[in-house]
Amino acid sequence: MTELATPVAILKQRLDELCIEQPQGFIRLSTPCQIEHLIGWLNVQSVFPRLYWKARELDAPEYAMVGVVKALDSLAALHSDQYALAAHPGEQPDYFGGMAFDPTTPGWANFNHCYFLLPRIELKRCEQGTMLSLNLRFDDRDREQELADAHAALDALNPPRPLSPLLPLSLERNDCPSREEWAAQVSRVTQPDQLCRTPKVVLSRETCLRSAEIPSPWALLSHWQAGAADCFQLGIQFTPHEAFIGCPPERLYRRKGSHLASEALAGTTPRGRTAQQDGELAIRLLSDTKNGLENRCVYQQLLSQLEPLSHRIDMGEAHIVTLRSVLHIRRLIHAKLHPEVSDRQLLETLPPTPAVGGVPRQAALAFIRQHEHHRRGWYAGVFGRISHASSDLAVAIRCAHVGKDSIRLYAGAGIVKGSEPDAEWRELDSKIADIMTLLGMG
């Protein structure tokens, strides 16, 4: 018996026992399992979608899932699905997925603007070990069909295999916008009359790397995450030849009951070569006017949006977050939400934050729609886990779209008074440096 065969056999037996009962609502059948490397397991599954999620705390559980019990393509549908299941007593499910940056513009092929799924098969690894779960529901479908689908999902599971190493690639790079176009866009935003209308616009770049041989997105994510332990780690794949992966450092929010944690993460400098240089750069970053303004735009908007939703809001001091290639300024925000505030309301209100859009929001988005020529798709959107009891969502930056013959890397920079095109271009490069190094292009 392999590390998968026994747990699958146990779940099948539990499923057969379930047939005799009269199950209602949502049911999760779980059993311990020996699988250690979740991404390696995900890489060999044949069912889509495949999804991976880990929050940025070092002890956060890791989730890998395949297939769907139900997929929701709007926040309204997600909200009513949660509401329907909450009518049945017992456990409530976790939903996973994300949203595009701007639903009013064309997105990526095969990526809905909004997509959250209740997974069919879920592997969850935490400090106590790994659990394999089979999810089912009986409130909105034919019982026999649901049992048959669940059986088929177990039958389709493949045992894990080690991921292949990343081989050196020959990649051709193309930036959109080009360096010259970028300089023109930055100059436009920093014109005094434009700054009066939009004090901050986050401009972005798509770096397209082409090659005849593209590595598995899961192998890429596995190597990427090894150097990004203190970041969120995510991946979603709807079809065999395209996936969205990333290791974002930024939290949109985490909600536990009515306690909300959010943050303003904005203001950047590339890392130094020594700890002493990093220390000096950190002091300079915290006192820098341009970077301070980038951060202030984010927290001011978050505070004003959270104000009507909360009893109480607290914000911490500005501090430095040290990542592998960059330093950022961050301020943590905590709020006690009014009891009726839902994830739907939070997700309809907070994104896109000025960390990825700008201020004022609508004018900044209008500028981006007019001047950016690439499709952001799910880059700078939202990605994470939602449940009745708690939710955790990342701002989907430091991400890549992995296609059949290309890897598209995305990076943005907050353009404000004092931004200079060359320095902001270097900032974009420092934000993709981790993945570029992995690809042998560092």
Ligand X SMILES: C=C(O[C@@H]1C=C(C(=O)O)C=C[C@H]1O)C(=O)O
Q: Is 294 annotated as a binding residue?
A: yes
Tell me how far apart the alpha carbons of residues 108 and 92 are, in angstroms, rounded to a whole number. Answer: 31
Which of 186, 202, 245, 302 is in the footprint of ligand X by CB under 6 A?
202
The distance of closest approach from Cβ of residue 275 to ligand X in the complex, given in angstroms and rounded to an integer, is 22
Which of 98, 248, 384, 414 is in the footprint of Mg ion by CB under 5 A?
414
Tell me how far apart the alpha carbons of residues 428 and 418 are, in angstroms, rounded to a whole number. Answer: 16
With binding defined as CB under 5 A, does residue 413 bind Mg ion? yes
> What does 246 bind: Mg ion, ligand X, none (CB cut-off 5 to 8 Å by kind)?
none
108 and 374 Cβ atoms separated by less than 8 Å: no
The distance of closest approach from Cβ of residue 300 to ligand X in the complex, given in angstroms and rounded to an integer, is 14
The distance of closest approach from Cβ of residue 427 to Mg ion in the complex, given in angstroms and rounded to an integer, is 5
Q: What's CA 261's distance to the chain center, in Å?
A: 16
- Binding to ligand X (CB under 6 A) within 337-396 occurs at 355-356
The distance of closest approach from Cβ of residue 109 to ligand X in the complex, given in angstroms and rounded to an integer, is 22
Residue placing its CB nearer to ligand X in the complex, 33 or 411: 411
Q: Which residue's entry shows tokens 């769907």?
A: 68
With binding defined as CB under 6 A, does residue 412 bind ligand X? yes
* Distance (Å) of CA 62 to CA 141, 269, 345: 30, 30, 26
Which of 266, 281, 341, 382 is in the footprint of ligand X by CB under 6 A?
266
Please count the residues of this chain forming the interface with ligand X, following the rule CB under 6 A: 17
258 and 341 Cβ atoms separated by less than 8 Å: yes
Region from 12-20, 95-103, 116-124, 261-269 binding ligand X, contact rule CB under 6 A: 261-269
With binding defined as CB under 5 A, does residue 433 bind Mg ion? no
DSSP state of 401: E
First to last CA, the chain: 43
Tell me how far apart the alpha carbons of residues 251 and 231 are, in angstroms, rounded to a whole number. Answer: 9
Which of 251, 255, 398, 408 is in the footprint of ligand X by CB under 6 A?
398
Q: Strand runs (DSSP E) across 185-309, as ranges?
A: 200-210, 233-239, 242-246, 251-256, 259-270
Which of 66, 285, 397, 433 is in the footprint of ligand X by CB under 6 A?
397
Q: Is 427 annotated as a binding residue?
A: yes
Q: Is the dihedral of CA 205, 246, 243, 27 positive or negative?
A: negative
Region from 143-151, 264-272, 280-288, 369-377 binding Mg ion, contact rule CB under 5 A: 264-272
The distance of closest approach from Cβ of residue 259 to ligand X in the complex, given in angstroms and rounded to an integer, is 23
**Interacting residues of 280 by C-beta distance below 8 A, sequence separation 6+:** 272
| 3-class DSSP state of 123 | strand
Region from 47-55, 216-224, 261-269, 374-382 binding Mg ion, contact rule CB under 5 A: 261-269
- Binding to ligand X (CB under 6 A) within 327-346 occurs at 328
Catalytic residues: 200, 250
124 and 61 Cβ atoms separated by less than 8 Å: yes
Question: Is residue 54 classed exposed, middle or buried when 0-12, 13-18 and 19+ CB atoms within 10 A define those classes?
Answer: buried
> What does 125 bind: ligand X, Mg ion, none (CB cut-off 5 to 8 Å by kind)?
none
| 3-class DSSP state of 306 | helix
DSSP state of 400: E
DSSP state of 162: P
The residues pairing with 118 across neighbouring beta strands, listed in sequence order, are 70
> What does 356 bind: Mg ion, ligand X, none (CB cut-off 5 to 8 Å by kind)?
ligand X
With binding defined as CB under 6 A, does residue 268 bind ligand X? yes
**Backbone φ/ψ region at 267: left (φ over 0), alpha (ψ -120 to 50), beta:** left
Phi, psi of 354 (to 5 degrees): -70, 0
Tell me how far apart the alpha carbons of residues 435 and 173 are, in angstroms, rounded to a whole number. Answer: 14
Residue placing its CB nearer to ligand X in the complex, 72 or 411: 411
The distance of closest approach from Cβ of residue 67 to Mg ion in the complex, given in angstroms and rounded to an integer, is 40
With binding defined as CB under 6 A, does residue 267 bind ligand X? yes
254 and 335 Cβ atoms separated by less than 8 Å: no
Which of 94, 294, 343, 372 is in the footprint of ligand X by CB under 6 A?
294
Residue placing its CB nearer to Mg ion in the complex, 237 or 268: 268
Region from 15-23, 48-56, 300-308, 406-414 binding ligand X, contact rule CB under 6 A: 406-414
Region from 17-25, 282-290, 307-315, 410-418 binding ligand X, contact rule CB under 6 A: 410-418
Binding positions for Mg(2+): 294, 427
List contacts with ligand X (CB under 6 A): 202, 250, 265-268, 294, 328, 355-356, 397-398, 411-414, 431
